[in-house]
Amino acid sequence: MSKKITFFLPYHGEKHAEQTIDAFISSDLTDGTTDILKEIADKDPRLKHIIPERKDLGIGGCWNEAVFSEYCGKYAIQLDSDDIYMDETTIQRILDVFREEKCAMVVGSYMMTDIDLNEIPPGVIDHREWTLENGRNNAIRINGLGAPRAFYTPVLRRIRIPNVSYGEDYAVGPAISRNYQIGRIYDPIYCVRRWEDNTDASLDIPKLNAHNAFKDKIRTFELRARQLKNKGKTYQRVMSHE
């Protein structure tokens, strides 16, 4: 891996693609994003646009396409297609935590904003209940890890990301924290934007229940894995990674 950092956006984002593109995209794109990316890539060789041959990949499957690509660097940093990093210091702060704490994953804090970056309720999400002493347990107690999420690529390749389109990165967090430290940044370094077509802006009750049930399943898997680890045994999570 000659490059240090890879950024990837693993799904459609035509409306805001030009605002969020920096270095790497992987997705099975059917909207106008492909044309936008081609135009940018023609001018900037840092952009590597990969379109998977498989048509059955969810967001997690697209993440794996990016992570296992020859273009992926030592660290892989998530950037959702409608969000942005807070400022030009975000990446350096993440790298500093990796180097200082020797961790396998770094999770930041974020601010909820509208599309014009005006803060909206509930404001800053920082999960300050996550402490160095209890972080590994907190990973399976909270319903979300925070953002942005950054990974040490060799560890992420060993764990892999489930081929689902919700909670794919949440599933990876507890698995990483079972054996490795997760570094934290408690002040906002990322803006999660809400806008009229945003898929998370207003979930109906059945969808919300389905999402929560999936995370409950992840936590159940992880609790069992940790119980077996404490007994000196191993655990194979039964979930599609292909």
The pLDDT tens digits of the residues spanning 219-228 come to 999 999 999 9
Residue 84 has pLDDT above 70, yes or no: yes
Give CA–CA dist 139/177, Å, rounded: 7
Residue 159 has pLDDT above 90, yes or no: yes
Inter-residue contact 220 to 175 (CB < 8 Å): no
Provide mean pLDDT across the span 4-16: 58
Instruction: Give the three-state DSSP class for 35.
Output: helix
What are the C-alpha distances in Å from 86 to residues 65, 102, 103, 189, 192?
27, 24, 22, 5, 10
- Crossing angle of helices 205-230/168-177, nearest 10°? 20
Give CA–CA dist 159/130, Å, rounded: 22
Q: Quote the distance between the C-alpha of residue 18 and its chain's center.
A: 20
Q: Mean pLDDT: which of 48-62, 86-100, 128-142, 220-234 is highest? A: 86-100
Q: Mean pLDDT: which of 41-55, 121-135, 171-185, 187-201 is highest? A: 171-185
Residue 3 has pLDDT above 60, yes or no: no
Q: By mean pLDDT, which of 39-43, 68-72, 123-127, 200-204 is the weakest?
A: 200-204
Strand 119-125, strand 182-194: pairing: unpaired
Write out the E strands in the chain. Answer: 5-8, 24-26, 48-50, 75-78, 84-85, 105-114, 119-125, 149-152, 182-194
